[in-house]
Amino acid sequence: MQTLVAAITWFVGIIFNAVSIVVSTVVNAFVWPAGAIGIPPEILAAGVLCLLLLALWRAMGGYF
């Protein structure tokens, strides 16, 4: 049972590390533009993500 728990913990750790690397890379892409505007890069990245999701939602609206 301990081996199973260790394997699941290892697997979940790998997934969280991969997601963390992707999120860090995306936020780092917004460091310079956010600094030029004067807001934190996380806020700018979240705003762009919301706009992207809104655009995708509007584009897919006709299919459902």
Q: Say yes or no to pLDDT of 64 above 80.
A: no
Q: How far apart are CA 17 and CA 6, in angstroms?
A: 16
What pTM was estimated for this model as a whole? 0.61
pLDDT of the residue at 47: 93
- pLDDT category at 50 given cuts 50, 70, 90 is very high
Averaged over 60-64, what is the pLDDT? 77
pLDDT tens digit sequence for 23-49: 888 888 889 999 999 999 889 989 999
Strand, helix or coil for residue 4: helix
Host H or E run for residue 3: helix 2-29
- Give the domain extent around 17: 2-63
Domain count, the chain: 1
The DSSP secondary structure of 13-58, one letter per residue, reads HHHHHHHHHHHHHHHHHTHHHHHHHTS-HHHHHHHHHHHHHHHHHH
